[in-house]
A and B are shown apart, each in its own frame.
Chain A
Amino acid sequence: MKNLPRFIAFIASALVLLLFVYPLWRITLEAPQYPEGISMYIWINQITGDTPGTLQNINILNHYVGMQQIVPSSIPELQYFPYVVAALGVLGLIAALVNRPKVYLIWVIIFGALAFLGIYDFYLWEYDYGHNLSATAPIKVPGQAYQPPLFGSKMLLNFNAISYPAGGGIFMGISLMLSFLAYLLSRSSKKTPVNSASLKAPKTKQKAKPHLQHF
């Protein structure tokens, strides 16, 4: 029982490290003349596509409406995200080794905050690509922005843009939930052996309450 949170924290750390193996997010563009769709994968350290040429193909399509080129080497996040993710994994492993609620809590808070900031940062990039358009674009549609959704699908002129977490993003979400679970379990498992008598008393009290209300 005492090792359960530790076990869960190990799994959570392993899952977050899968971000090195699977992409974080996937954006797919669908149009009649792209029957197989064009999918772009956002990793913590790179942007890839179905084929080596996919990014170029998306940039070609984007240039008609004046969107900036997506150039992975010019996106600083792709340089330092791997360190952030590695640190999160290591922090999880440390928390598992220490196996104390406070350490788990610190991990959960840092993890949660970074995940939120990461997604917010992704949103900002999307906003910038979608709104910061060249003044000399061959195709200009007044009032039209080309920001893909963060989560879900949206028609952008002739393209349906579909955006969802990919494998890595899903594992990261599970990892975050597991880290929180590890924290919760560490609290209860810590209290159980050390202070079992005092715990039992309030429990019976709590149980009694509904009875009282019934009466």
Chain B
Amino acid sequence: MKISKIILACVPLMWIGACNSGNPESTPSGGAMAKNNAAEKVYVAPGEHDEFYSFMSGGFSGQVSVYGLPSGRLLKVIPVFSLDGEKGYGFNEETKPMLQTSFGFVPWDDAHHPELSQTDGVPDGRYLFINGNNTPRIARIDLSTFETAEIIEIPNSGGNHSSPFTTENSEYVVAGTRFSVPIPQKNVAISSYKEEFKGALSFISVDPEEGHMEVDFQVLLPGFDYDLAHAGKGKSHGWMFFTSYNSEESHTLKEVNASQNDKDYIAAINWKKAQEYLAQGKAIDMPAEYLINRYNEKKHMAETEKRTSVKVLLPQDCPGLIYYLPTPKSPHGVDVDPTGSYIVGNGKLNANLTIHSFDKMITAIENESFAGDIAGIPVLNFEDVVAGTVESGGLGPLHTEFDGEGNAYTTFFISSEVVKWKLDTWEVLDRIPTYYSVGHLMIPGGDSKKPWGKYMVALNKITKDRYLPTGPELAHSAQLYDISGDKMELLLDFPTIGEPHYAQAIPAELVKPNSKKIYKLDENEHPYFTKSESDARVEREGNEVHIYMTSIRSHFSPDNIEGISVGDQVYFHLTNLEQDWDVPHGLSVMGAQNAELLVMPGQTETLLWEPVKAGVFPFYCTDFCSALHQEMQGYIRVSPKGEQLPLSFSTGE
């Protein structure tokens, strides 16, 4: 009697249980299979949103791509360091200044490491920083618009690789040089490397309100290759750690000559001490020419500012500013655990991982227990600072991230795997292959004080047979793993844009509510803003013609323009009068030697058109905007050079 009652009572419960497991984690047929069903774990139903935004560097594409996790769906490609015809970035007059450098217009770069801004050591969803490695720069992307808001050029740098890692409250993002160069630049023999070449580590301050970046100071170091960096956190807040290789200071055939020393160094920089020295006036003002390009969201255009000097701290003048931690085998990544206690040196030519202890480092510094010095920089004893070694069984460790549960995950490029190990005991807990030859890995918040340790993404360097072949060039591959259990589990492969070196991810709810839908027309301060159709007009100033043009579904105003001659510089200043979400209008003009405009609601953008032939040329809207999009077109008449009709323009006449 009792048993049958229990069974009867359980039947509806089981039914409810089965229904619950059906949504949203698994399909209705899921049930007991769900645990190992990778497809269900990455399935985001049509119309639903991903749990995380993931930002991947574009590597040699120079851009940032935004993916949803766990689905691996591409959400946006944000143009940063490279021209992008799709959005007119770097082609329209407003964004051309973004790519200006002291070398002139540099329309490409190699973007490596995205880094989210942080508050109290946790990603806050305000900004994404990313480095340009080739012509040293750091960009700041505003995550309310997902647009590049600022690019600062880094002086005295030769390859901005250990960048743009942030301090706990984004007081600084850093820019260490991977290629040492003569500082200041001069025409010297390359063989004078050891005498003339220096490595500059730059600390870029970030304004807490506006986000504006400035080079606060640089530290000038011996000419090693400063490879990667991470800030201390918690107890080690106030310190910044940079790996270096090429402590041999070689300048040729580095693959051999820079791999000779058994140990290179992690440079530990006390940036709070640096601030004291700055306040004491210990910095020297070194002439340096570099540009800062800032996009003004009200004016809808970028403006360039030039800087002509930089504050430089020299270690020999600033005791206590910097120490070298010997670290085996050309360390690549340097990663600080969420508590700030451990500094992981990923010795890339090694089988094992070296972990330094922050506490031991401080004790050694206090005891002045130094093995010697390099150019006045104290070198600590390896035995004094090492906390432990992970006997990994792998080969070629590159990068480590953390799950916030006391575990660390390290990529091994050569043995193509991720190894999970335990902090404090240094024991290996699990390992899983990657396809193939993983570089960075990323756990959402995995380099911060508060990792969201549910997923891990491996960013692989070699693709080969993972997807349908596309000729010799293949997309780089990312792999998503579930790390919520004891064992790592491969869930998903997805191709990526360019070469994602590193990535960052953040829970969607920290970004999504701030995402702008439109720009407000009544906040538009663009100098060529056209407030309404009745203000649309054409004005001539010498051979410059300025068209104050508007777009609204489904016409341009004006859409008939005459009085242009070959040799004129015609500026189409297009204001999109729409104030509705997701109604951009494009503008392309026949024969334009740049790109289209793609103008968001409330925005003004400018296309420069220099007609080379007489005739009548069409222009049209490129973004399918409405039922009458095909009708959204106009004509501009061009007379031969020397002939000039009076300017006239109209719409609907």
Contacts and interface: CB of A to CB of B under 8 A. Distances in A.
Nearest to B601: A53
Nearest to B552: A60
B628 A60 contact: no
Contacts of A138: 627-628, 631
Interface string A53-72: 10011001000100000000
12 contacts: A51-B579, A52-B522, A53-B578, A53-B580, A53-B601, A56-B580, A57-B579, A57-B580, A60-B578, A60-B580, A64-B627, A138-B627
A64 B579 contact: no
A52 B579 contact: yes
Interface of B: 518, 520-522, 552-553, 577-580, 601, 626-628, 631
Contacts of B631: 138
A139 B579 contact: no
Contact of B553 (A53, A60, A139): A60
A139 B626 CA distance: 12
Contacts of B521: 53
B580 A139 contact: no
B580 A64 contact: no
A51 B521 CA distance: 13
A53 B601 CA distance: 10
A126 B521 CA distance: 29
A86 B627 CA distance: 45
Nearest to A33: B582
Contacts of A139: 627
Interface string A27-62: 000000000000000000000000111001100100
Nearest to A61: B553
A138 B652 CA distance: 14
Nearest to B517: A51
A4 to B, nearest CB: 49
Given A60-B580, A64-B627, A64-B628, A53 B552 contact: no
Interface in A103-147: 138-139
A60 B518 CA distance: 16
Contacts of B552: 60
Contacts of B627: 64, 138-139
Q: What 3 A-B pairs are tightest by C-beta distance, nearest first?
A: A53-B579, A57-B580, A60-B553
B518 A53 contact: yes
Nearest to A38: B580
Given A51-B579, A53-B579, A56-B580, 17 more contacts: A52-B520, A52-B579, A53-B521, A53-B578, A53-B580, A53-B601, A56-B577, A60-B552, A60-B578, A60-B580, A64-B626, A64-B627, A64-B628, A138-B627, A138-B628, A138-B631, A139-B627
Nearest to A139: B627
A48 B282 CA distance: 60
Contacts of B628: 64, 138
B542 to A, nearest CB: 36
Nearest to B518: A53
Contacts of A57: 578-580
Contacts of A51: 579
A108 B601 CA distance: 49
A53 B628 CA distance: 21
A60 B627 CA distance: 12
Contacts of A56: 577-580
Contacts of B518: 53
B161 to A, nearest CB: 44
Contacts of A64: 626-628
A130 to B, nearest CB: 20
A75 to B, nearest CB: 20
A212 B584 CA distance: 81
A107 B613 CA distance: 77
Nearest to A55: B579
A36 to B, nearest CB: 9
A53 B578 CA distance: 8
A139 B619 CA distance: 24
Most buried by B among A53, A56, A57, A138: A53
A51 B583 CA distance: 15
Contacts of B626: 64
Contacts of B580: 53, 56-57, 60
A139 B554 CA distance: 13
A60 B580 CA distance: 10
A53 B520 CA distance: 9
Interface string A184-197: 00000000000000
Nearest to A35: B47
Nearest to A138: B628
B45 to A, nearest CB: 15
A135 to B, nearest CB: 15
Contacts of B577: 56
A60 B628 CA distance: 12
B534 to A, nearest CB: 14
B515 to A, nearest CB: 14
Contacts of B601: 53
Interface in A64-115: 64
B97 to A, nearest CB: 29
B32 to A, nearest CB: 35
Contacts of B522: 52
Nearest to A58: B580
A200 B452 CA distance: 79
A133 B518 CA distance: 30
A72 to B, nearest CB: 16
Most buried by A among B521, B580, B601: B580
A169 B520 CA distance: 31
A57 B626 CA distance: 12
Contacts of A52: 520, 522, 579
A4 B43 CA distance: 63
B400 to A, nearest CB: 42
A60 B626 CA distance: 10
A77 to B, nearest CB: 25
Contacts of A53: 518, 521, 578-580, 601
Nearest to B628: A138
B653 to A, nearest CB: 14
Contacts of B520: 52
A31 to B, nearest CB: 12
B518 to A, nearest CB: 7
A180 to B, nearest CB: 44
A150 B509 CA distance: 39
Contacts of B579: 51-53, 56-57
A134 to B, nearest CB: 13
A99 B100 CA distance: 79
B459 to A, nearest CB: 34
A139 B522 CA distance: 31
